Structure 1
Amino acid sequence: MLKLCAAFLLLLLALCGAAWAADSYDGCKVYDINTRSVFEKELLLRLSQNADLDFFILPRSLDAASRVMVQPQDQQGFEQLLQKFDVDYVVVNEDLGVSLRQEQLENQSQRLMAQRSASRAISFTAFHRHAEINAYLDELAAAYPSRVSVQVAGKSYENRDIKTITISNGDGRSGKSVIFLDAGIHAREWIAHAGALYVIHQLVDNFAANSALLKNYDWVILPVVNPDGYEYSHTSNRMWRKTRKPVSSACYGTDGNRNFDYHWGEVGTSSDSCADTFKGETAFSEPETRLVRDLLLSLRSRGKFYLTLHSFGNYLLFPYGWTSALPVSWRDIDDVAQAGAAAIRAATGTKYTVGSSTNALYAAAGGSDDYAFAVADFPISITMELPAGGTGFNPTTAQILPYVQETWVGIKAMAQKVVDKY
């Protein structure tokens, strides 16, 4: 343990030079690290506390690989440390910047093709911008006025409209139970936004096949929680994760999924305003998280199922994120999550891991799922981590449709379980 601490401190010293300002990711390598012991996993956990290392995923299980992006100037020291402790690793991307530029060009081409040929503002052959997504919601409301309504739930820090779409079966009954789904708390997780849009498409355009899910339930869907960060990830920094409100002259943004006021600021968060897991200066410091809070609380008596879409890693996670202890009703949530995992595996063979956030993945306090469950009283609250694409957060355009189709299989099964039970 003394050797571990000494090596860790040496690496910290090696990495604490001038902040890396480039947004191109040229020369950045992405590593998969396969741990074989608790000691090795603890080493990675300590390394993940360094803001200069971007751990895309750090599973608790020894069987699951961790993935990390390392800047060019840090790669030699990082590899030397892993070699010193005989930690197995493989480079899965030699130059992330090259990959991201290629994918950006492909996405732009697919967006243009979709705009020329599609009847709607969005397709599932490209990742669409925030304005296009909002236009799509408005198109659906105009086309199906008896079943669809769109509201501006609030504004982002940079004054973008954050819209929700409410979908019903058009029978005019008020006071129905609600399934509330959101996506895009983390800006770079583009497949999550696409997943939410596909759910909307299925419930609205494919209503006949999914009418049972709307008989006694309304769905409220917020497809882009963090539009400022999402736009920034399109225009300036593809791997941007946080919101965009300035914290200091050097650092912008807060991790929205560490900003909710339930055990805020505890385990798995950072007080470093430059870190990707920065908890915020206060709980609900961000207009985007306050908006989600207000929606959740407004649905308190009707909300039965809260589902938040993220990526990546093939997980269905439930409370709690702040402790390894389980809620008294954990089996009820587990039953719903297991239904989703089983449906996906039967349909495509893809395996999802089910468990509480802390026990299956890692501890992270201040998350929206914990808040929805413990404060807003949603009996079922689940975080769905969609599959990786590319090196993790960057699926190709060809992967969008199969990924969102698979995701819908799981969401439909979970929703049906909720509808049958509540």
Structure 2
Amino acid sequence: MALSIITPLLLLLGVVYGQRERYKGHQVWRLTPKSLTQLEYLDNLRQKSHTKEVDFWKDPSSVGRPVVLRVPSKRRNEIYIELGLQGFVPEVTIKDLQQNIDEEESLYTQNSFADLKDFDYSKYHPLSEVNAWMEQIAAKYPERVTLFNISSSYEGRTIRAMKIVGKATGSKKPGFFFDGGIHAREWISPATVIYMAAQLIEQYGKNRSITEVVDALDWFILPVFNVDGYNYTWTTNRMWRKTRSKHFNCYGVDPNRNWDWEWCKQGASKDPCSDSYCGPSPFSESEVKGVADFLNAVPGRFRAYIDFHSFSQLWMTPWGYTKDLPPDFPLQNACSAAAVDALTAVHGTKYKYGTLARVIYISSGSSADWTYGAAKIKYSTGVELRDTGKYGFLLPADQIIPSGEETLQGLLAMAKFIVNNP
């Protein structure tokens, strides 16, 4: 039996026999702090979130900026009363999280494909199918696509990436690296990355804008960064965020807090059970170290880097660890403006842009800070894709193609800016 058929069957068997984490009665709430006192309360709640069994989907960052959190059914009354005493009236955006997961899960059996022409870009795909897609599209376009292994994960999975090139020039062109799925539950990220990679490959020679940037730059694309965590969201726990390494009685490290740049300072946790756990040391995670080693292998090779996340609709540049501006900020911000303008022109989707620390919150040990500060990649970026909280990490599959279409235009605009402003 083909692996692409086995995977959905195993997923369904897991559901039948109760092996998957269940979220029946869990709700997702959105609330907005209107004062510094309310903001401080939410930040204190976030710091003890795992003991309260509250999962912050969108962290508190500033007065007036919405916060999104998942509350388990057994804690709902308690947390609601606490919030009420602080003057909050939460808006319920998801009434029963498990119902949304079940609806998403009902599409799994439709995902299997035997040939590249049958691959459905409007569906989410498990890791086995992502890897099969990479193999098949590389086989169809051997002059355009080369596959390579970056490293192995904690659980021994191969982390696979692809290189896309245009016409041979006789010398190496500047590189543009982008990845998805560093946080496991953010499924729209790998789906959008896969869609954009396919467009760069299949529309080369047909679409002028794509042809120009593929001829000008070498493209390196990693569809699923956190392979163990992503696989775990398909087999066991849809809401899993971290890697799957073992630390005391808890599992996983936040791979976007594990980079060796201002590691484990503000915006990261030293608690192994926290979703923002920075790890026992910088680059403790083989996945993170593998990507960092690849980016560092040839100094000056890469002109741009994007780490695609969800959700919030943000296009952000360094620094994340401080609100101070880096020396390249004027160019970085102009590049972000060009990308966001092009993105918004497609479907009208609104994005904010600026530095990570100023747009979202201060966080240390992030990919964008390390790629800019240590690897000297001037145009290092962190992007939060759709939406702003209505669906959060469970973005319906019918938004994959629109997300891919608009983000591709942002990507092309960024590439053109970089070519003109090295």
Give the TM-score taking structure 2 as reference length.
0.90
**Between 74-83 and 366-375, the greater mean CA deviation after superposition:** 74-83
Displacement, 1:59?
5.3
1:196 is matched with: 193
Distance 2:64 2:409 in 1: 26
Q: Partner amino acid for 1:128?
A: H
Tell me if the contact between 1:308 and 1:369 (Cα under 8 Å) persists in the aligned partners: yes
Q: 2:41 and 2:24 mapped to 1: Cα distance?
A: 27
Q: Distance in 1 between matches of 2:100 and 2:227?
A: 24
Q: Is the 8 A contact 1:120 1:139 kept in 2?
A: no
Q: Distance in 1 between matches of 2:409 and 2:62?
A: 26
**2:21 counterpart residue number:** 23
1:217 matched residue in structure 2: 217
Equivalence map 1:16-415=2 (5 Å): 23-50=21-48, 51=50, 52-58=53-59, 60-106=61-107, 108-112=108-112, 115=113, 119-120=116-117, 122-171=119-168, 173-208=170-205, 209=207, 210-248=210-248, 250-388=249-387, 391-415=391-415
Maintained 8 Å contact 1:110/1:397: no
How far apart in 2 are the matches of 1:27 and 1:358? Answer: 34
Q: In 1, distance between residues paired with 2:63 and 2:267?
A: 19
Output the amino acid matched with 2:81: Q
CA contact (8 A) 2:299 2:375 kept: yes
What is the one-letter code of the residue matched to 1:77? Answer: E
Question: Which runs of no fewer than 5 residues in structure 1 stay unpaired?
Answer: 1-20
1:416 is aligned to 416
Contact 2:254 2:275 in 1 (8 A): yes
Kindly tell me the number of residue pairs found equivalent between the two proteins: 397
Letter in 1 for 2:71: V
Deviations 1:153-206 (A, max 9, x none): 111111111111011104153321010111111000110001111121111011
**Offset of 1:37 from its aligned partner?**
1.8
How many angstroms does 1:109 deviate by?
3.7
1:421 maps to a residue whose letter is N
287-296 or 169-178, which deviates more: 169-178
Please state how far the C-alpha of 1:121 moved relative to its aligned partner.
Answer: 6.6
Aligned to 1:15: none
Query: 1:76 is matched by which residue type in structure 2?
Result: N
Tell me if structure 2 keeps the 8 A contact 1:121–1:135. no
* Secondary structure in 2 matching 1:88: coil
Q: Which amino acid aligns with 2:102?
A: R
Query: After TM superposition, what 4+ stretches of structure 1 lie above 6 angstroms from structure 2?
Result: none
Q: Counterpart amino acid of 1:110?
A: Q
Q: Deviation string for 1:55-87 (max 9, x for gaps)? A: 101253433321000112221121111111212
> CA–CA distance in 1 between the matches of 2:94 and 2:358?
29
- Residue-by-residue CA offset, 1:21-50 (whole Å, 9 max, x unaligned): 982111111100122222212221121112
Deviation at 1:278, TM superposition (A): 0.6
Matched AA of 1:57: K
TM-score by length of 1: 0.90
In 2, Cα distance between equivalents of 1:207 and 1:411? 15
Assess if the C-alpha contact under 8 Å between 1:300 and 1:378 holds in 2: no
Structure 2: state its 5+ residue gaps. 1-18
In 1, the alpha carbon distance for the partners of 2:100 and 2:196 equals: 29
> CA separation in 1, counterparts of 2:61 and 2:268?
16
Q: What is the CA–CA distance in structure 2 between the aligned matches of 1:219 and 1:70, rounded to whole Å? A: 41
1:189·1:311 contact (CA, 8 Å) conserved in 2?
A: yes
Q: Is the 8 A contact 1:178 1:299 kept in 2?
A: no
Is the 2:61–2:361 Cα contact (8 Å) retained in structure 1?
yes
Instruction: Give the match's secondary structure for 1:257.
Output: coil
Kept in 2: contact 1:35–1:88 (CA 8 A): no
Question: Secondary structure in 1 aligned to 2:315?
Answer: strand
Q: Is the 8 A contact 2:153 2:227 kept in 1?
A: yes
1:284-336 deviation digits (Å, cap 9, x = unpaired)? 11110011111211243121111110000000111111111110111111111
Q: Do the aligned partners of 2:346 and 2:405 also contact (CA within 8 Å) in 1?
A: no
More off after superposition, 119-128 vs 328-337: 119-128
After superposition, the Cα gap between the structure-2 partners of 1:182 and 1:198, relative to the gap in structure 1 and judged at 3 Å, is: same
> Per-residue deviation at 1:119?
3.2
